[in-house]
C-alpha cells in the first residue's frame, strides 16, 4: 500500500516535470544550453541525497530535540524546591542587612572619620552574618523579634551617639560597645 | 550551435550603471546575488526567532540556526587561548559574520542559473585583506611593538636572525593573499569544471549520432557527482577559511605561545 503511494507520488512528480518542460520550452522561458544539464543534475542530486541521507538527518535532529527535552525535564523548577518559610526568612534577613547599611550610610560624613564608618559597617555586617548563620534554627516569631531588636538597637545607638556637639572618639567606642551589648542581649534572650 | 565559453558564467554585468566621474558605483549582478542571499538568511533567522525567541524545544529550522550560531563561540574558545572569558568573545561577531558569509554564499552558487559571488578574486581578496589588516591592528594594539617579536621564533641563533625575520615576514604577509586565493580558486575551479563537463555532455547530446547518445550518461554521471563534491567543497571552504582566521588571530594575540601553557597557568592561578 505504502509502496504504491510513493510510486503514485513519483509518477505525479514526473508528469508535472514533463509538463513544465513542455510549457516552458513552448513559451521560450527555458534556455536550451548546457546550463539545463547542470540544473537537471542539481535537482537529481537533491532528490538522491534526500532519499539516501534524509533519514539520517531527521534522526540526528530528532535526537538533539529529545536530548534538550530530557535535559529541561531533569532540572526541577527552582521556585518549587525552596519552602516558603525559608524564603520569608531570607527576605527578612536581607531587609535587616539593608536597614543597617542605610543607617550607617546616613551618618553625617563630616562628623565621623571614614575609617570609623567602615569599621562600624564591617562590624555590623559581620555580626549580622554570624547571626543569620545561626538563625535558621529559630522559630519565626522569635526570629522577627530578634531582628527587630537588632535593627532598633543599632538604630537608636547610632542616632543617639551622633548628635551635634558630641565628642568623636568616645561616641565611636560607645557605639561599638552598645552594638555588641545589643547582640549579647539578643544572644542571651535566645 | 555556438558553444559558449565556460568562463562566461563569471562575467560581471552592471545591472544599474551608476557613474561618478571616473568611479563606477554600478549595481552589478554580484551585488544582486549578495543582497538576495542576505535577505534569505535574515528571513530565516527572523522566522526562527519569531514570538520572542522561538521555542525552548527547537524544531528543525531552529536547530539548524542554533547549530550554526553555536559553532563560532566554540571555535573562538578553542583556537584563541590564553585570554579571559569575556575578552575571547570579543572576536565572536566578526568571525560569525565571516563564517555565515561564506557558508551561505558558497552553496548559493550551486543553484542553477545563479552567480557565485565568492568565485571572484576581488570579493574574496577584499574580505581576506581587510580581515588581515584588522588582525594586524589587533596584534599591535594588544602587544605594542612587541608584536614584531612574533617574526622571530624562539631558540634561533643570533647570526641567523635577520634572514629569519625576513623569511617569516613574507609568509605572514602572504596570509592575506592566501586566504582569498584559497576560497576563490576552489569555487572557480569547481564551477568551471562543472560547466565544461556539462558543456561536453550537451554537445554529445546534440550530435545526431547514436554512439554519442549511448556514451552520454558518462559525463552526466560525472556532473552529478561533481555537483555533490561542489556542495561539500562549498561548506568545507567556509569552515576552513573561518578556522584559518581564528588561527591568525591566535598568532597575532598570543605570539607563538602555546595555548597549553596558558591553560596550565590558569589552573595554577
Task: Specify the residue for cell string 571552504.
Answer: B237
Task: Please determine, for residue B1, whether its predicted confidence score (pLDDT) is greater than 50.
Answer: no
Interface check for A39 against chain B (CB to CB < 8 A): the answer is yes
Interface check for B56 against chain A (CB to CB < 8 A): the answer is yes
Distance in angstroms between the alpha carbons of the first and the last residue of chain A: 82
Phi, psi of B257 (to 5 degrees): -75, 145
* pLDDT, tens only, B164-175: 888 888 888 898
Higher local confidence (pLDDT), B100 or A140:
B100
Interface check for A60 against chain B (CB to CB < 8 A): the answer is no
> Considering CB atoms only, which of A33, A37, A42 is closest to B4?
A33
Q: A41–B224: do the CB atoms touch at under 8 Å? A: yes
What is the value of pTM for the model shown? 0.65
**Cα distances (Å, whole numbers) of residue A177 to A153, A182, B50, B120, B242:** 12, 9, 62, 82, 66
> Considering CB atoms only, which of A37, A49, A58 is closest to B202?
A37
Inter-residue long-range contacts of B89-92, CB under 8 Å, 24+ positions, other chains counted? B91/B246, B91/B249
Task: Specify the residue for cell string 621564533.
Answer: B153
Interface check for B198 against chain A (CB to CB < 8 A): the answer is yes
* pLDDT, tens only, A59-82: 888 888 888 778 877 765 555 444
Interface check for B170 against chain A (CB to CB < 8 A): the answer is no
How far is residue B80's CA from residue B243's CA, in Å, rounded to a whole number? 11
Cα B6 off chain centre by: 23
Buried b (16+ CB within 10 A) or exposed e, A74-109: eeeeeeeeeeeeeeebeebbeebbebbeebbeebee
ipTM of the complex: 0.77
Q: Which residue of A has its CA nearest to B225?
A: A45
> Considering CB atoms only, which of A33, A34, A45 is closest to B224?
A45
Task: Specify the residue for cell string 578553542.
Answer: B78
Interface check for A47 against chain B (CB to CB < 8 A): the answer is no
Mutate to test the interface with B, among A36, A42, A60 (most CBs of B within 10 A): A42
Report chain A residues whose CB lies below 8 A from the CB of B194.
38
* pLDDT, tens only, B212-266: 777 778 888 888 899 999 999 999 999 999 989 888 888 887 776 655 555 665 6
Interface check for A33 against chain B (CB to CB < 8 A): the answer is yes
Amino acid at each position: 500500500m505504502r509502496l504504491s503511494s510513493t510510486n503514485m507520488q513519483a509518477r505525479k512528480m514526473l508528469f508535472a516535470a514533463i509538463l513544465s518542460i513542455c510549457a516552458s520550452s513552448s513559451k521560450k522561458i527555458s534556455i536550451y544550453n548546457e546550463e539545463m544539464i547542470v540544473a537537471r543534475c542539481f535537482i537529481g542530486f537533491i532528490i538522491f541525497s534526500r532519499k539516501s541521507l534524509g533519514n539520517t538527518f531527521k534522526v540526528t535532529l530528532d535526537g538533539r530535540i529529545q536530548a534538550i527535552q530530557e535535559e529541561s525535564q531533569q532540572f526541577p523548577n527552582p521556585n518549587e524546591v525552596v519552602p516558603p518559610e525559608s524564603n520569608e526568612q531570607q527576605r527578612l534577613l536581607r531587609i535587616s542587612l539593608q536597614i543597617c547599611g542605610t543607617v550607617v550610610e546616613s551618618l553625617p560624613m563630616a562628623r565621623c572619620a571614614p575609617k570609623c564608618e567602615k569599621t562600624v559597617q564591617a562590624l555590623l555586617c559581620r555580626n549580622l552574618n554570624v547571626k543569620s548563620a545561626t538563625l535558621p534554627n529559630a522559630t519565626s516569631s522569635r526570629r522577627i523579634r530578634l531582628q527587630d531588636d537588632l535593627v532598633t538597637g543599632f538604630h537608636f545607638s547610632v542616632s543617639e551617639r551622633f548628635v551635634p556637639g558630641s565628642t568623636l572618639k568616645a561616641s565611636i567606642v560607645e557605639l561599638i560597645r552598645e552594638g555588641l551589648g545589643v547582640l549579647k542581649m539578643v544572644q542571651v534572650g535566645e | 550551435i555556438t558553444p559558449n565559453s565556460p568562463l562566461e558564467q563569471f562575467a560581471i554585468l552592471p545591472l544599474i550603471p551608476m557613474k561618478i566621474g571616473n568611479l563606477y558605483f554600478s549595481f552589478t549582478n554580484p551585488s544582486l546575488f549578495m543582497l538576495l542571499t542576505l535577505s534569505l538568511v535574515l528571513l530565516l533567522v527572523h522566522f526562527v526567532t519569531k514570538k520572542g525567541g522561538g521555542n525552548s524545544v527547537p524544531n528543525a529550522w531552529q536547530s539548524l540556526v542554533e547549530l550554526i550560531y553555536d559553532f563560532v563561540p566554540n571555535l573562538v574558545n578553542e583556537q584563541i587561548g590564553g585570554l579571559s572569558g569575556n575578552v575571547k568573545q570579543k572576536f565572536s561577531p566578526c568571525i560569525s559574520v565571516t563564517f555565515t558569509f561564506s557558508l551561505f554564499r558558497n552553496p548559493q552558487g550551486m543553484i542553477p542559473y545563479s552567480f557565485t559571488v565568492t568565485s571572484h578574486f576581488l570579493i574574496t581578496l577584499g574580505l581576506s585583506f581587510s580581515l588581515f589588516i584588522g588582525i594586524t591592528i589587533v596584534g599591535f594594539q594588544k602587544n605594542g611593538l612587541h608584536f614584531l617579536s612574533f617574526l622571530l621564533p624562539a631558540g634561533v641563533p643570533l647570526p641567523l636572525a635577520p634572514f629569519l625575520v625576513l623569511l617569516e615576514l613574507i609568509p605572514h604577509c602572504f596570509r592575506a593573499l592566501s586566504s582569498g586565493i584559497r576560497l576563490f580558486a576552489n569555487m572557480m575551479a569547481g564551477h568551471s569544471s562543472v560547466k565544461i563537463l556539462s558543456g561536453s555532455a550537451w554537445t554529445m547530446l546534440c550530435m545526431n549520432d547514436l554512439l554519442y547518445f549511448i556514451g552520454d550518461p558518462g559525463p552526466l554521471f560525472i556532473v552529478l557527482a561533481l555537483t555533490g563534491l561542489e556542495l561539500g567543497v562549498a561548506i568545507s571552504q567556509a569552515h576552513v577559511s573561518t578556522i584559518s582566521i581564528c588561527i591568525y588571530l591566535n598568532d597575532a594575540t598570543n605570539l607563538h605561545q602555546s595555548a597549553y601553557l596558558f591553560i596550565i597557568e590558569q589552573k595554577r592561578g
